[in-house]
């Protein structure tokens, strides 16, 4: 089995709020990503997905927990000490328009990581930038243009070319296809699949789009209010989700077959405030199968049915009462 590229153990990230309060954005999250593996990260807005992505590559400093990159503990490294690692850990952001300097030509944007992290000459960087452009299916004539002259899909390809320029071992992709139309999105996903096979890079794919996550992910991390509620192989999460929140989330996934019967569970109630987390299961206030003890103690991540690869955090799994009842599902 491939060695882990990234090992995250009980990661915590807090942000200060007005009046001396604290936003508990990420609360004890643990996972690993191995070489050539893609981890899909899903959850509602505000669940901590992007914060985790930025923290594991040390764009944000963690509050607690540990982050190991290729066996090295990078949790407490200073910004200066993290700088040499940037060649090996890259991020593709959601909005390519804001990620690229509008005053720099495309060729120079692609070559910028090479200038920062390699000793290539200017001529070598130009040749490498042209090769990278071709690799992400951009024509060489686009290298002389500015970002405003390219489409959204082309700009996202530029961002991917920049991310792979230094052959990183870890790539975090934060909603990389959400701003693109369906046909362009398919092309980007095909490209990412090819790059994963070629480079064997570990990838973290953050998205709201469950169909996209299903296509590209090997394992899935389901987040709710900054905590992991389910962590399992992709097929298991989509075919047989154990946590009631995962079940509600997956019920919103539209199958490819238009004749398939879709029955959804629409969650009611408000998500608890990340400033004042409840003492027990954070999902209990919206869960259709919650009982009183769910509100009193926080459930640990435990193996589902003895399967160590499938973990879920629900007190009702052991008694077989974790399934959303049929009467709560609607066409």
d(CA 265, CA 156) in angstroms, rounded, equals: 34
Tell whether the model's pLDDT for residue 207 goes beyond 80: yes
At which residue do the structure tokens 């899935």 appear?
A: 220
Percent of the chain with pLDDT over 90: 72
Query: 282 to each of 224, 313, 316, how far by Cα in Å?
Result: 8, 11, 14
Angle between helices 152-164 and 106-117 (to 10 degrees): 20
- So what's the pLDDT on residue 39? 97
Query: 44 to each of 41, 168, 248, 251, how far by Cα in Å?
Result: 10, 29, 11, 14
d(CA 40, CA 230) in angstroms, rounded, equals: 12
- So what's the pLDDT on residue 324? 84
46-68: per-residue pLDDT in tens? 899 999 999 999 999 999 999 99
d(CA 163, CA 192) in angstroms, rounded, equals: 11
- So what's the pLDDT on residue 177? 82
Hey, what are 95's tokens? Answer: 């909005």
Question: What is the phi/psi pair of residue 237, to 5°?
Answer: -65, -40
Tell whether the model's pLDDT for residue 180 goes beyond 60: yes
d(CA 114, CA 166) in angstroms, rounded, equals: 7
134 Cβ contact list (under 8 Å, min separation 6): 140
Gyration radius (Cα) of the chain, Å: 21
Question: What is the phi/psi pair of residue 111, to 5°?
Answer: -80, -15
- So what's the pLDDT on residue 181? 77
DSSP string, 21-42: -EEEEEEEEEEEEETT-EEEEE
When the pLDDT of each residue in the chain is averaged and rounded to a whole number, the result is 91
Residue 245 banded pLDDT, cuts 50, 70, 90: very high
Tell whether the model's pLDDT for residue 255 goes beyond 80: no
At which residue do the structure tokens 């400033």 appear?
A: 275
Entry pTM: 0.93
Residue 250 · residue 43 · CB < 8 Å: no
- Domains of the chain are 1-88+168-217 (3.40.50.300), 97-167 (no CATH), 241-331 (no CATH)
Q: What is the mean pLDDT of residues 105-125?
A: 94
- So what's the pLDDT on residue 330? 58
- So what's the pLDDT on residue 88? 95
Residue 203 · residue 171 · CB < 8 Å: yes
Least confident of 104-118, 131-145, 263-277, 303-317: 263-277
Q: What is the mean pLDDT of residues 210-225?
A: 93
Residue 130 · residue 100 · CB < 8 Å: no
Q: What is the mean pLDDT of residues 89-94?
A: 92
9-48: per-residue pLDDT in tens? 999 999 999 999 999 999 999 999 999 999 999 999 889 9
DSSP 104: S
- So what's the pLDDT on residue 328? 60
Secondary structure (H, E, C), 159-196: HHHHHHCCCCCEEEEECCCCCCCHHHHHHHHHHHHHHH
d(CA 120, CA 105) in angstroms, rounded, equals: 19
Q: What is the mean pLDDT of residues 70-79?
A: 95
- So what's the pLDDT on residue 251? 83
At which residue do the structure tokens 């973990």 appear?
A: 311
Residue 245 · residue 314 · CB < 8 Å: no
- So what's the pLDDT on residue 95? 87
Highest mean predicted confidence (pLDDT) among 134-143, 221-230, 261-270: 221-230
3-class DSSP state of 310: strand
d(CA 241, CA 304) in angstroms, rounded, equals: 10
């Amino acid at each position: 089995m491939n060695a882990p590229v990234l090992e995250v153990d009980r990661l915590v990230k807090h942000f200060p709020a007005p009046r001396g309060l604290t936003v508990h954005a990420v609360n004890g999250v643990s996972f690993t990503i191995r070489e050539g593996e893609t981890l899909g990260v899903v959850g509602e807005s505000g669940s901590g997905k992007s914060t985790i992505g930025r923290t594991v590559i040390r764009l944000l400093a963690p509050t607690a927990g540990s982050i190991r990159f290729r066996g090295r503990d990078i949790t407490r490294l200073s910004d200066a000490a993290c700088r040499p690692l940037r060649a090996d850990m890259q991020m593709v952001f959601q909005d390519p328009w804001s990620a690229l300097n509008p005053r720099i030509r495309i060729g120079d944007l692609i070559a910028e990581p090479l200038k920062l992290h390699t000793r290539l000459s200017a001529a070598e960087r130009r040749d490498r930038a042209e090769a990278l452009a071709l690799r992400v299916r951009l024509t060489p004539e686009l290298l002389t243009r500015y970002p405003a002259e390219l489409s959204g899909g082309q700009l996202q390809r530029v961002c991917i070319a920049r991310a792979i320029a230094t052959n990183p071992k870890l790539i975090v992709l934060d909603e990389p296809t959400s701003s693109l139309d369906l046909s362009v999105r398919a092309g980007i996903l095909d490209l990412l699949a090819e790059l994963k096979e070629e480079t064997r890079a570990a990838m973290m794919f953050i998205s709201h789009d469950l169909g996209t996550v299903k296509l590209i992910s090997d394992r899935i991390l389901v987040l709710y209010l900054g905590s992991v509620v389910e962590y399992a192989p992709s097929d298991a999460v989509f075919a047989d989700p154990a946590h009631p929140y995962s079940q509600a989330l997956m019920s919103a996934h539209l199958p490819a077959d238009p004749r398939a019967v879709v029955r959804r569970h629409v969650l009611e109630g408000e998500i608890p405030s990340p400033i004042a987390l409840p003492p027990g299961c954070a999902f209990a206030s919206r869960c259709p199968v919650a009982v009183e003890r769910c509100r009193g103690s926080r459930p640990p991540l435990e193996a589902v049915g003895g399967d160590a690869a499938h973990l879920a955090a629900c007190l009702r799994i052991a008694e077989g009462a974790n399934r959303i009842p049929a009467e709560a599902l609607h066409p």
